[in-house]
A and B are shown apart, each in its own frame.
Chain A
Amino acid sequence: MSIFKSWRNPFKWNFFRSDDRLLLILIAVIVGSCSGLAAVALNRSILILFDWLHPFRHYWWAFILPAIGAALSSIFLEKIVNEGAGHGVPEVVYSVSSYGGLLRFRSSFSRIISSCLTIGSGGSAGPEAPVVMSGAAIGANIASFFSLNDRQRIIIVGCGAAGAISSIFNAPISGLVFSIEVILGEWKASNIVPIAIASVAGTEISRFLQGNSIAFAHHNFDITFFDIGASFGLAIFTAVVTIFLTRSLKTVRGISEKIQIPLWVRAAAGGCAVGIIGMFLPVVLGEGYHFIGSMINENFTQGLLVVAIALFAKIFATSLTLGSGGSGGIFAPCLVIGSLAGLTYYRALAIIYPSLSWVNEGCYALLGMAGLISGMLQAPLTGIFLIVEITGGYNVILPLLIVSSVSTTLCHYIEPASFYLKALVAKGQLLRPGTDARVLSDLSVPELLERDCLTVNQNMRLGEFIHIIKKSRRNIFPVEDEKTGRFLGLIHLDSIRSYIFNSDMYNAVFLWQIMDTDVDKVYPDDDLSEILNIMDRKHLFSIPVVANNKFIGIISKATLLDQYRKELMVQTLD
């Protein structure tokens, strides 16, 4: 029995007592492999479903295929596993921010199944975000199983995300960078090591099962000086496309949420629309990796106009799929849109300056992907490493850096928060480690409560009150009702200073005459940031805390500073 008990709590083993790093690395291997496996499973099943449905695509009614897929995925999410729609990355970041990375067990498979239905049937969405969610949830549940603490669990959640991204793209560094840049937001050696290990494990699983192939291999590009110059233009163009995509997603979501129909009908309607677009432009269907490959290898022969139309069609199809309640991420559509954008730019450039020898359109497709990913995620490193790894080429690094950084900067200018984090930032729930918001959200009212205030009752005379003042170490005195203990008001020493030395008033004045009844008060479950806002607005140095109409203590800025400092020291020094 005792063996059963202790193996779930490895920290009891003497071996791990001194240092948890080795244990985290071991768990990282398990988690990385599991999430890698999940990624492979999703990738495979999407391919199988897509191929299985391929013969039906010639029929006139093929447009309802995405509709059926989207409806099924919506029903599955809403009714069977009882989870909301959406791709799940914000949920992971939220949980990492606020709850030490706790995630539900059902999240570890729900999104895989639903996104498989959506994408496999032709919906325009990506499998990456669902797989990140699943990987993270696998990590969280394994961490909980081993009774890890919050800090360790967050690292393991990061491991899950990293393993998933590494496995699906066969790109270990991207997995590592994505996990730290987007999910954790904290570059520390103690984070990087286990996550790197998980990336390796995820990649190995993928290579073992699917072979070591670089997703979009290409031949060498000869980058000229002009190309470097042109990449600035491309960066601006991709930034514009990114903003357009963001706005389009938001608009479609807003419209679809206003329509009062069952969720699965809504999803089906969106799927239908995507299916109709897909009948004319098959490039919009599914995750679209096949088309990226052909664009990079210059096999995408249609002219400028068709490419430009395809670009907008894909943006529109993605917005429809995700906005109407389909399940999937934005990652893969971004890559497709990015390569279409790069291609459009190249074709336009070739028409305007036909005399110059541009490198080739494949290179621009590739740069476009980097621009879009960087702009959308506002994570430039993820964009750069991803493109370098999935194309297997280091020789485009210079324009890549330019496009990535310029696109990120421009997008940040217009959309201050990335696509994944926008909702969290808007609600003030993005709490990165070591920030003010994080410290304030960690500290709670009961931790700051000072209870050494002496309470008085409203029928006390000033003379008796003087004795109380002598005993107290504080300059505020809460007034309570004698019988019920209700909090009635406060007496602040400053406000009665003028007549406190007048002994003639000692017997004539009752406390209910001098107490301040219009007091700002807060409750034990209030957020500290709100409390500080009140205190700042009213220029208060302390504020009473009241629960069930009874005074329980005060919060003062002096104690807050003390605690805040200690909290910050403990949080930042690891």
Chain B
Amino acid sequence: MTMELTIHEVANRLNLPWNTIERWVRQGRIPMQKSGNIYIMREAVMKKWAEAHNLSFFLSKKEIDQEKNLQPENLLPAMQRGSVLYGINGQTVEKVLKDAIDKIPDLLIKNKKELLATLIERESLASTGIGNGVAIPHPRTPLSEMHKNSAIITCFFEKPVDFGSIDNKPVFIMFILLSISVKTHLHLLSRLSFCVRNKLFIEFLKTSPAHDLFYAKIADYEKEIDQIGDF
């Protein structure tokens, strides 16, 4: 069956206001036919017409929706995907990173060597210790194998490690942030830093909570973020 489009649909697809299309119909610039009380146009005709006039257009409603709804996902799903690791060992940054990466489930990351190398490379530029005993290591560019979903791996340390943080406090927890794009990275990072700015949350983390408790807490904070409407 051929798709028949109304003025509003045509306007959507051409990314133009509908009153422009209405005027074009009146002026006879776009070949729409009157059917009953409304004007319609077949999809193929619209495509041909738009191409002839060098106008860009979207083919279907889905495409438009995709454009509009490209909201990056939130912390909780990424954390749940990334898993929570306890008792990470090591005295130096490199060692804790290596230990953590070894403990990451193989399903999530296959090329662990690449991940370690990129994380260390990033650390050598500047420490990812953001203060309050928290570090957020991440690769500089999205990993080659991460392309569908982002993941955050939460790692509780056995004992605090000197990360060279800005406030010189030793780090007791790190979130390895693996995102699919720079945009998602910034989105997740800003949400995460909102949480760890809160003293109560830091105290809560210091108790090395069980993962379901931890997830529940994150969910609470995310709700708060959404309420403020920030980020």
Contacts and interface: CB of A to CB of B under 8 A. Distances in A.
A and B, direct touch (CB closer than 8 Å): yes
A188 interface: no
Interface string B28-47: 11100110000000000000
A444 B33 contact: no
Interface in A135-185: 147-152
A570 B30 contact: yes
A570 B25 CA distance: 12
A452 interface: no
The main secondary structure of chain A at its interface with chain B is: helix
Given A569-B53, A569-B54, A573-B53, A151 B16 contact: no
State the 6 A-B residue pairs at the shortest beta-carbon distance, nearest first.
A149-B28, A151-B28, A150-B27, A447-B20, A447-B17, A570-B29
Contacts of B231: 470
A258 interface: no
B23 interface: yes
Given A9-B34, A470-B231, A446 B28 contact: no
Contacts of A447: 17, 19-20, 23
A443 B53 CA distance: 18
Contacts, number: 59
B148 interface: no
Contact of B34 (A12, A100, A446, A470): A12
Interface residues of A, number: 29
Nearest to B21: A447
A100 B26 contact: yes
B33 A17 contact: yes
A106 interface: no
Given A11-B33, A150-B27, A470-B230, A563 B20 contact: yes
B27 A151 contact: yes
Contacts of A567: 20
B200 interface: no
Interface string A9-37: 10110000100000000000000000000
A471 interface: yes
A574 B16 CA distance: 19
Interface of B: 14, 16-17, 19-20, 23-30, 33-34, 52-55, 228-231
A100 B25 CA distance: 12
Contact of A446 (B16, B17, B54): B17
A446 B19 contact: yes
Contact of B55 (A446, A448, A566): A566
Given A12-B33, A443-B20, 9 more contacts: A11-B34, A149-B26, A448-B17, A470-B231, A566-B16, A569-B53, A569-B55, A571-B29, A573-B52
Contacts of B16: 563, 566
Nearest to A573: B53
Nearest to B55: A566
Contacts of A566: 14, 16, 55
A408 B110 CA distance: 82
A381 to B, nearest CB: 27
Contact of A151 (B20, B29, B33, B52): B29
Contacts of B230: 467, 470
Contacts of A442: 23, 27
A84 B16 CA distance: 40
A388 B126 CA distance: 87
Contact of B25 (A149, A152, A444, A569): A149
A462 to B, nearest CB: 16
Contacts of A17: 33
A545 B55 CA distance: 27
A152 B228 contact: no
